[in-house]
Amino acid sequence: MITDVAELERVAAVNEDGLGDIMEVSMGPHHPSTHGVFRMDVRLEGERVVRLKPVFGYLHRNHEKIAEHGAYLSAIPYTDRLDYLCSMTNNWGYVLAVEKLAGIAVPERAEYIRVIVAELTRFQNHAGLVGFLLQDMGASGTPLMYAFREREKVLDLFESLSGARMMCNYMRFGGVRVDCSAAWLTETRQLVGRLPGFVDEFESLLRANEILMARTQGTGVLPRELAVNAGVTGPMLRASGVNYDVRKVDKYGIYDRFSFRVPLGEHGDVYDRYMMRILEMRESVKILEQALRDIPAGPIMDPKVRLRGLRPKAGEAYGRIESPKGELGFFLISDGSGNPYRYRVRPPSMINLTILEDMCLGENIADTVIILGSVDIVLGEVDR
């Protein structure tokens, strides 16, 4: 609803010129783009976007309040449900923060298992994202079918390891919940052996697709300085050319033992963000091959940790990891009791949305959907 007098005069002038009408459109919270209950209030001049305000909170499930009422251990299944496509990496972010808060060490084998499941998660997330992005562009379902075919294989591995396909609830403070068997490792090695072939097939089907090229190159450009100032992280930041990957900066876990590259983009448009995911899938396969080759025998949990009655000393800690969406962090304040006094999630999807308006201004409304698709949001994380 336009109430500003100057704005109304401008609208009248535009209408007289016949260049287009000003129209306010609410895209969402229910719309065919499969990113969840997200709404964009868009003001259009003809087909071009002149203003875009994201509105969310439709999936605000009070994760932080519930976690503050429960023990440290009972927050782990809730972290599964934050970014519900990547439950393993969510678990890792939280247990890393608690391990920093309470000073808990993790044995070698558990670190290797964590890296293996995290990189498998990253792989299936990026494959799914390319599938969803192509679906937003109109390729109704076929790339997604290819992506989900591989995702199902990864979920089979997760199910045999942790008992659940999606909500794995697998990591604990000081290690992981159950050990992986030699048979599981053999099956994982076989799957990882086939993954490069899948990425080649996937990419070859899309590489020269003219609709993909025409729609994504030059669309939704995000300049470097704005990306850094707006706290954008993950593949979206690296597509704009900023070399910042928490795995390389913090070297958490045992990531400093693996040799892998950090792909960087040049233009910061949707095409670069799509290419980031493809390249990171290949890097994840490299890390998986190294981890599966070097995983030692040994214990998987620190035996001194009291999981159920964990009472860290009063203090605070911020622990962060590189999740497939960006920097996922957990800020915990302990008051010495068994419940966290303050439990805060740093949601990469929500913070990456800060500059959605900047990227979409001047673009056609049809392109806002693919720009949003390239940001890679999951509403469970945006709203918590």
Partner 1 sequence: MEQDLKNLKIELSKNGIFTTTLEEIYNWGRKNSVWPLTFGLACCAIEMIATTMARYDLARFGAEVFRPSPRQADLIIVSGTVTKKMAPQVVRLYNQMPEPKYVIAMGACAISGGPFRDGYNVLKGIDRYIPVDVHIPGCPPRPEALIHAFMTLQKKIEEQSLSGAERPRHLQADLPSEFPVPTFGEHGLEPAQNTDVFLAENGNPLRVIQ
Partner 2 sequence: MPLPSPEDIKAQIEVGVPGASVTVIANGSPSGQHSLLLDHAHARAVAEFLRDDAALRLDFCSLMTGVDWPDSEVSEKVKVKKLVAGPDGASSEQQVEEVRKTKVSGHLEAVYHLFSMEKKHGPAILRLRTANRADGTHLPSLTPVWRSAEFQEREAFDLYGIVFDGHPDLRRILMWDGFVDYPMRKDYVAPEDDILVTGVKA
Write each residue from 231 to 270 as x if it is in contact with partner 2 (CB under 8 A), else as -, in one continuous string: xxx--------x-x----x---------------------
Interface with partner 2 includes 84 (CB under 8 A)?
A: no
Environment class of 70 (CB within 10 Å of its CB; exposed 0-12, middle 13-18, buried 19+): middle
Interface with partner 2 includes 103 (CB under 8 A)?
A: yes
Interface with partner 2 includes 102 (CB under 8 A)?
A: yes
Per partner kind, with CB cut-offs from 5 to 8 A, the member of partner 1, partner 2, none near residue 315 is: partner 2
User: CB 189: neighbour CB atoms within 10 A?
Assistant: 13
User: Of the two residues 48 and 153, which places its CB atom closer to partner 1 in the complex?
Assistant: 153
Shortest Cβ 180–partner 2 spacing (Å)? 29
Interface with partner 1 includes 36 (CB under 8 A)?
A: yes
Interface with partner 1 includes 84 (CB under 8 A)?
A: yes
Shortest Cβ 158–partner 2 spacing (Å)? 29
Write each residue from 55 to 74 as x if it is in contact with partner 1 (CB under 8 A), else as -, in one continuous string: --xxxxxxx-xx--x-----
230 contacts 355 by C-beta, under 8 angstroms = yes
Q: Which of 10, 81, 286, 311 binds partner 1 (CB under 8 A)?
A: 81
Q: Which of 26, 46, 47, 60 binds partner 2 (CB under 8 A)?
A: 60
Which residue's structure tokens are 């678990």? 91
Q: Which of 113, 168, 191, 350 binds partner 2 (CB under 8 A)?
A: 350
330 contacts 319 by C-beta, under 8 angstroms = yes
Residue type, 295: I
Binding window for partner 1 (CB under 8 A); candidates: 34-42, 189-197, 248-256, 290-298: 34-42
Query: Smallest Cα–Cα separation from 221: which of 321, 359, 95?
Result: 359
Environment class of 10 (CB within 10 Å of its CB; exposed 0-12, middle 13-18, buried 19+): middle
Shortest Cβ 20–partner 1 spacing (Å)? 26
Q: Helix H segments across the chain?
A: 5-17, 63-69, 76-80, 87-102, 108-137, 142-162, 182-207, 210-216, 224-229, 235-239, 246-249, 270-294, 348-352, 356-360, 365-375, 379-383
Shortest Cβ 195–partner 2 spacing (Å)? 30
Q: Rounded CA gap, 155 and 168, in Å?
A: 10
| Binding stretches for partner 1 (CB under 8 A) | 29-32, 34, 36-37, 57-63, 65-66, 69, 77-78, 81, 84-85, 144-145, 148-149, 151-152, 165-167, 379-380
